[in-house]
Amino acid sequence: MEFSAEQIAGILNGEILGDAEVKVNDLAKIEEGKKGTLSFLSNPKYEEYIYTTGSSICIVNKTFEPSKALPEELTLIKVEDAYSCFAKLLELYGNLYKKEAAIEEFTHIDPEANMGDNVHIGSFTYIGKNASIGSDVIIYPNCYIGENVTISSGTKIFPGVTIYHDCKIGSNCIIHAGTVIGSDGFGFAPDEHGKFQKIPQIGNVILEDDVELGSNVSIDRATMGSTFIRKGVKIDNLCQIAHNVDVDENSAMAAQVGIAGSTKIGKHVLIGGQAGISGHIKIADHTKIVAQSGIPSNIKKAQTLMGSPGIPLDDFKRSYFGFRKLPGLLKKVQELEEKIEALTKV
């Protein structure tokens, strides 16, 4: 679909500088722009590209003033916040591809499942007994929705997702391809012969509203009770959330984070990629954990942690500075030892 600068400015309540009739039919990064595409500039670090971009329209902040000549065919739309406005356009662009309500061929929907209005179910999807699918839910092909699962309105589930029995998914969640929700927690106990006996995992997983899970995330069901992913949590690809973990509201974690069983993550906690968090501990609200850090014990107040074990960021930087000097210090020690040895022979 094509949109004119005038139409886009109307959506964003923006001011046009240039040709109001120019049209675009695609989106592009400013450094990769070409004729017919729409870009944006919000970070001054990328300002150089606006003077060479081939984009037809660029969204900029109202405060932007060019320091040299812009391309002749470039039209600007000035807005209060270029980044958030471009995000709004991305959302509208994505909605152009929204699935229409339909039940595709080769699906299995149990007769006792409850289906809401305007639901889309893709081919080769299985929906079990007593499952409840809310209105405006989209489930792409090759998904498994187990018995007694609840999926609330407006949630989108991409291909290959597995949701085990009794789990509950809130409204307006997004679950990306390959994610598994509700597989057994890692519960085993050795018997008198040292052989591991499986501990039944009889709980479930509860995702509250507005949660987004990346691809190939694994969230284990609770041994008893529930594993909780609270409202607004965002989890990147390839994360492992163990049984009985509770991730509180509006926290976020990057790829390959692992959280061991029964740990409680506070509100607004940010966790960098490949960080590991031990079991049965609590992480305070607003804590920040730098990528590849290891957290072995409770964090009682908000701070930024780095390293393994994680220590306050400034302490880590000082420690690292000392660590980098170790080769030189070792060389000096060796030289001193040689001098002492030589002196003792005199």
| Catalytically annotated residues | 243
Which letter does DSSP use for residue 51 in this model?
A: G
Residue 339 neighbours by CB under 8 Å, 6+ apart? none
Which letter does DSSP use for residue 299 in this model?
A: B
Tokens linked to 266: 């506070």
Residue 46 neighbours by CB under 8 Å, 6+ apart? 30, 31
Distance CA 89, CA 102 (A): 26
Instruction: Give the DSSP per-residue string, 268-293.
Output: T-EE-TT-EE-SS-EE-TT-EE-TT-
- Backbone angle region of 331, left / alpha / beta, with phi > 0 → left and psi within -120 to 50 → alpha: alpha
Distance CA 229, CA 249 (A): 8
Distance CA 224, CA 243 (A): 9
Q: Find the angle CA(93)-CA(255)-CA(252) to the nearest 5 degrees.
A: 75
Question: To which residue do tokens 């037809």 refer?
Answer: 56
